[in-house]
A and B are shown apart, each in its own frame.
Chain A
């Protein structure tokens, strides 16, 4: 394999503590190495440019049935934005629900090399993996959803952590999944009765278990197995005024639990798209930001990580396993709605949404996301996302980075809103003069996310021995720049390497890479009870047989990267 040396760039690597020093980066056989180990490298001149490890997205919806429902029922999302085949690039189209090809290319153009699909309905894992397979360049993994799963509800009702853990291990293997995802715990199951769980003590109908029991039980089962990533939760009561108390109650469920498994992460709970969970007020009229209360908790508790779920003020497509929330949304905006019940496992809804800067609530949501990022004391635990495509498409990450790095750009937005004064009153953003540094951005998009996913041994840094994923941006931190220069640079990587393979050269995509699908094989002691329960549930309830359920073979996961976990002890 080719050798490369990236010379003379301003390097930002929080893991190695490099903060803008001019350092050379050496690549050999797909890994970073010491520069002395190179024999005859090809030189990439990064003079005057910013060099960072390939970015790692901890939460996006980029593959699977609900993404595809979005694509299918929104042909208008592809109107006027399709590009024909060009060089190695396949035909691309779509804005908030792009094609798989566009997804891979657009992430690469932003310097992202690893992306987590944040909600995989286990029954449709095969579909999810087929889409992941067709997404070029980026390494991906998918989180199966557990928070409304009948097995989990039945085991955790009796606090059977070991059985829950065995089931998780079985399901991760069956679906080639990576982590334990929880969406509106209990609430999506309640939606099957036309109900919801609005706080963590609101019992799930029929199962008679509370969201608090589900979340706490899944954290414990996750740590019983010692999985690479922590339990990853989208809490109850998303998107409603006054919901910040539910969020704080959910956070507190992580208290007293220690991470296990030796993956290097410190957290036992990752709470996703916290912007949607940081609302005060009790109606849309007195709706306000509660980000200080939320960040006070996050800053003082190091067994929690969050991502922000930044609203980008675009027309987008919301999609979530939070079925009742999507129904609420379609009642609000009267746009089209898709809803699915996924048998014993979960549910889902999809609704287009226009986050308009002329609407007060949308502008407040926009401010809250940025406040979360700017109030973060430890950027290794607070990550940039847009909950793609729910709060906005992932292609806006460079714009989010601009807002976080530039007070001027934020204040231009705040002053430009139609309801400017009301938005400023209901939020705290106007007073915040913090401008994040490139070092902090690298923490929020690479070092921190890789660590939280338990992938610090592969990604997130330029340390010798790690996967050679590295982005070179045309951005000179020592020169004067306008805020828009930040957005432009981070949206158009000058060079990109993925596992040592050159993907982008001088701004042009030159390779479709060799993408891998990561999954976690957790070995547990034999558990005849769980295996009997699985068999019985398939015979009794599922519409498919167990043989037609499991993701197996080359077709679904042609290039797997298996992370072995030994939980037999």
Chain B
């Protein structure tokens, strides 16, 4: 495993679109070659070298490449976009689209992320030590293909609209979430260890939501079915099982209608 270290030296005056910060783009490249990779600032094409001090080199493949990003990256977007393997560690608070459309590998953020982290994610793992913004693991604007695989773990809180159009994979939030959880979901699993506000599971077709804390306003489209004992993330407890969204279409399996499942811990 080779390591490339990027340390921001020149802040962009607009936002920097740096989807080239990924093990796939860095694999097989020297620091000099990596510095020449392009980025966009508004409609101007720049290079990673214009903004970052770069040391180390990429491994032979993405899987053998580790990237460490240091400094104030709050104006840097698309870190780890579409990555298929390897590892990225961000020591800071990156802007939007961290790990969007990610397929494999691991991203660790030792801070907060802005919106759209893990958009359309297919595989791999994202771990966020701080808070996540809105639209975590959601679909791109307009798309009906949200998070499809992989795992996102947020140790802090998350914003609104997490897991919109989720089809698979898992999102675990250590703290609280804002409104709209798993809207339109057709699969996947969201665990909220703290409290949720409202519109949890709206227009949900299939999938699971597990809330440990309070739900401020329950959706009228969810119906209480029964109590169940579950083990979630190593914690065994009794949960109330609600099914919904009854206003949505649902397929049948062996004559039984499959609903979205919402579990709330007692």
Interfacial residues, chain A to chain B (CB-CB below 8 A): 73-77, 79, 84, 334-336, 352
Docked complex Cα distance between A177 and B251 (Å): 46
Interface pairs (17), CB distance under 8 Å: A73-B142, A74-B142, A75-B140, A75-B141, A76-B140, A76-B141, A76-B142, A76-B143, A77-B142, A79-B140, A79-B143, A84-B43, A334-B249, A335-B144, A336-B142, A336-B144, A352-B144
Interface residues of B in 128-148 (CB under 8 A from A): 140-144
Docked complex Cα distance between A422 and B256 (Å): 30
Minimum CB–CB distance from B174 to chain A (whole Å) comes to 31
Chain B residues closer than 8 Å to A352, beta-carbon distance: 144
Q: Mark B162-202, 1 if CB is under 8 A from A, else 0.
A: 00000000000000000000000000000000000000000
Chain B residues closer than 8 Å to A73, beta-carbon distance: 142
Docked complex Cα distance between A75 and B144 (Å): 11
Chain A residues closer than 8 Å to B249, beta-carbon distance: 334
Chain A residues closer than 8 Å to B142, beta-carbon distance: 73-77, 336
9 closest cross-chain pairs (CB), A and B: A76-B143, A75-B142, A76-B142, A75-B141, A76-B140, A74-B142, A79-B140, A335-B144, A73-B142
Docked complex Cα distance between A76 and B249 (Å): 24
Q: Mark B222-250, 1 if CB is under 8 A from A, else 0.
A: 00000000000000000000000000010
Docked complex Cα distance between A334 and B43 (Å): 37
User: What is the number of contacts between chain A and chain B, taking CB atoms within 8 Å?
Assistant: 18
Interface residues of B in 105-125 (CB under 8 A from A): none
Chain B residues closer than 8 Å to A84, beta-carbon distance: 43
Q: Is the interface of B mostly helix, strand, loop or mixed?
A: loop
User: Most chain-A CB neighbours within 10 Å: which of B141, B142, B143, B249?
Assistant: B142
Q: Is the interface of A mostly helix, strand, loop or mixed?
A: loop
Minimum CB–CB distance from A207 to chain B (whole Å) comes to 34
Chain A residues closer than 8 Å to B43, beta-carbon distance: 84
Minimum CB–CB distance from B188 to chain A (whole Å) comes to 17
Chain A residues closer than 8 Å to B144, beta-carbon distance: 335-336, 352
Beyond A74-B142, A79-B140, A352-B144, 13 extra complex contacts between A and B, CB < 8 Å: A73-B142, A75-B140, A75-B141, A75-B142, A76-B140, A76-B141, A76-B142, A77-B142, A79-B143, A84-B43, A334-B249, A335-B144, A336-B144
Minimum CB–CB distance from A459 to chain B (whole Å) comes to 37
Docked complex Cα distance between A73 and B140 (Å): 12
Minimum CB–CB distance from A319 to chain B (whole Å) comes to 15
* Nearest neighbor of A335 in chain B, beta-carbon distance: B144
* Nearest neighbor of A77 in chain B, beta-carbon distance: B142
Minimum CB–CB distance from B136 to chain A (whole Å) comes to 18
Docked complex Cα distance between A71 and B168 (Å): 28
Docked complex Cα distance between A335 and B165 (Å): 11
Docked complex Cα distance between A84 and B40 (Å): 12
Minimum CB–CB distance from A97 to chain B (whole Å) comes to 11
Docked complex Cα distance between A221 and B143 (Å): 45
Minimum CB–CB distance from A93 to chain B (whole Å) comes to 13
Docked complex Cα distance between A84 and B44 (Å): 10
Minimum CB–CB distance from B8 to chain A (whole Å) comes to 25
* Nearest neighbor of A72 in chain B, beta-carbon distance: B142
* Nearest neighbor of B205 in chain A, beta-carbon distance: A334
Minimum CB–CB distance from A67 to chain B (whole Å) comes to 16
Minimum CB–CB distance from B40 to chain A (whole Å) comes to 9
User: Most chain-B CB neighbours within 10 Å: which of A76, A84, A336, A352?
Assistant: A76
Chain A residues closer than 8 Å to B141, beta-carbon distance: 75-76
Chain A residues closer than 8 Å to B140, beta-carbon distance: 75-76, 79
Chain B residues closer than 8 Å to A75, beta-carbon distance: 140-142
Minimum CB–CB distance from A98 to chain B (whole Å) comes to 15
* Nearest neighbor of B144 in chain A, beta-carbon distance: A335
Docked complex Cα distance between A89 and B168 (Å): 41
Minimum CB–CB distance from B226 to chain A (whole Å) comes to 29
* Nearest neighbor of B145 in chain A, beta-carbon distance: A76
Docked complex Cα distance between A233 and B144 (Å): 33
Chain B residues closer than 8 Å to A335, beta-carbon distance: 144
Chain B residues closer than 8 Å to A336, beta-carbon distance: 142, 144
* Nearest neighbor of B143 in chain A, beta-carbon distance: A76
* Nearest neighbor of B139 in chain A, beta-carbon distance: A76
Docked complex Cα distance between A335 and B186 (Å): 12
Chain A residues closer than 8 Å to B143, beta-carbon distance: 76, 79
Minimum CB–CB distance from B225 to chain A (whole Å) comes to 24
Docked complex Cα distance between A73 and B144 (Å): 12
Q: Mark B14-49, 1 if CB is under 8 A from A, else 0.
A: 000000000000000000000000000001000000
Minimum CB–CB distance from B232 to chain A (whole Å) comes to 30
Docked complex Cα distance between A532 and B43 (Å): 55
Docked complex Cα distance between A336 and B141 (Å): 13
Docked complex Cα distance between A336 and B165 (Å): 12
Chain B residues closer than 8 Å to A77, beta-carbon distance: 142
* Nearest neighbor of B248 in chain A, beta-carbon distance: A334
Minimum CB–CB distance from B256 to chain A (whole Å) comes to 20
Docked complex Cα distance between A335 and B249 (Å): 12
Docked complex Cα distance between A77 and B249 (Å): 25
* Nearest neighbor of A331 in chain B, beta-carbon distance: B249
Chain B residues closer than 8 Å to A76, beta-carbon distance: 140-143
Minimum CB–CB distance from B257 to chain A (whole Å) comes to 16
Minimum CB–CB distance from B39 to chain A (whole Å) comes to 14
Docked complex Cα distance between A35 and B144 (Å): 57
* Nearest neighbor of A91 in chain B, beta-carbon distance: B43
Minimum CB–CB distance from B252 to chain A (whole Å) comes to 15
Minimum CB–CB distance from A116 to chain B (whole Å) comes to 28
Minimum CB–CB distance from B201 to chain A (whole Å) comes to 17
Minimum CB–CB distance from A351 to chain B (whole Å) comes to 11
Minimum CB–CB distance from A82 to chain B (whole Å) comes to 11
* Nearest neighbor of B19 in chain A, beta-carbon distance: A80
Docked complex Cα distance between A75 and B140 (Å): 8
Minimum CB–CB distance from B207 to chain A (whole Å) comes to 15
* Nearest neighbor of A334 in chain B, beta-carbon distance: B249
* Nearest neighbor of A333 in chain B, beta-carbon distance: B144
* Nearest neighbor of B40 in chain A, beta-carbon distance: A84
Docked complex Cα distance between A74 and B145 (Å): 13
Minimum CB–CB distance from B194 to chain A (whole Å) comes to 32
* Nearest neighbor of A78 in chain B, beta-carbon distance: B142
Chain B residues closer than 8 Å to A334, beta-carbon distance: 249
* Nearest neighbor of A336 in chain B, beta-carbon distance: B144
